[in-house]
Amino acid sequence: MNSFYASIEQAQNLELRGKPVVICGDPERRSGIVLAASKEAKQFGIKTVDPLWMVQQKCPQAVIVRPRMETYVEVSVRIMEIAQRFTPQVEVFSIDEIFLDLSGTEKLWGGPWEVARQFRRLVREETGVVCSVGIGYNKLVAKVCCDTKAKKSSEGIWEWKPQDIVREMHPLPVRELFGVGSRMERHFHSRGIVTIGDLARYPLHLLKKRFGIMGEVYHLSANGIDYSPVTPNTFRQDMKSVGHMMTLPRDYETAAEVEVVLLELCEDVCRRLRRMGRNGRTVHMHCGYHGLVGGFSRQVSLPYSTNITREVYAAACQIFHEKWSGTAVRSVGISVENLGDDGEQQLDLFHDRERERRLAYTIDSIKDRFGNTALVRAASLTQAGQAFERSGKIGGHYR
354 is catalytic: no
**Does the pLDDT value for residue 68 go beyond 80?**
yes
Choose, from 97, 185, 216, 356, the residue flagged as catalytic.
Answer: 97
Please state, in angstroms and rounded to a whole number, the distance separating the CA atoms of residues 102 and 200: 28
Q: Which range, 236-240, 300-304, 346-350, 387-391, has the best average confidence (pLDDT)?
A: 300-304
Residue 30 has a pLDDT of 46
CATH number given to 4-67: 3.40.1170.60
**Does the pLDDT value for residue 344 go beyond 80?**
no
Q: Which range, 63-77, 238-252, 344-358, 384-398, has the best average confidence (pLDDT)?
A: 63-77
Distance of alpha carbon 19 from the chain centroid: 27
Q: Which range, 30-34, 168-172, 381-385, has the best average confidence (pLDDT)?
A: 168-172
**Does the pLDDT value for residue 316 go beyond 90?**
yes
**In this structure, are strands 157-159 and 133-135 parallel, antiparallel, or unpaired?**
parallel
Q: Find the range with the poorest average confidence among 28-42, 142-156, 232-246.
A: 232-246
**Does the pLDDT value for residue 394 go beyond 70?**
no
CATH number given to 239-398: 3.30.1490.100
Quick check: 56 and 19 in contact, CB under 8 A?
A: no
Select the more confidently predicted residue: 27 or 330: 330
- The model's pLDDT over 119-141, given as tens digits with 9 standing for 90+, comes to 999 999 999 999 999 999 999 99
- The model's pLDDT over 178-221, given as tens digits with 9 standing for 90+, comes to 989 888 999 999 999 999 999 999 999 999 999 999 999 999 99
Please state, in angstroms and rounded to a whole number, the distance separating the CA atoms of residues 316 and 275: 21
Task: Work out the angle at residue 180's Cα, subtended by the Cα atoms of residues 177 and 186, and round it to the nearest 5 degrees.
Answer: 120
Show me where the domains of the chain are located: 4-67, 239-398
**Does the pLDDT value for residue 107 go beyond 60?**
yes
Please state, in angstroms and rounded to a whole number, the distance separating the CA atoms of residues 350 and 124: 60
For residues 159-168, average pLDDT: 96
Quick check: 46 and 59 in contact, CB under 8 A?
A: yes
The beta-carbon contacts of 348-353 under 8 Å, at least 24 apart in sequence, are 353/306, 353/308
Task: Work out the angle at residue 40's Cα, subtended by the Cα atoms of residues 180 and 75, and round it to the nearest 5 degrees.
Answer: 70
For residues 298-313, average pLDDT: 92
Q: Is 96 annotated as a binding residue?
A: yes
**Does the pLDDT value for residue 395 go beyond 60?**
no
For residues 150-157, average pLDDT: 94
**Does the pLDDT value for residue 29 go beyond 80?**
no
Cα–Cα distance list, 73 to 7, 8, 206 (Å): 13, 11, 43
Give the mean pLDDT of the chain.
89
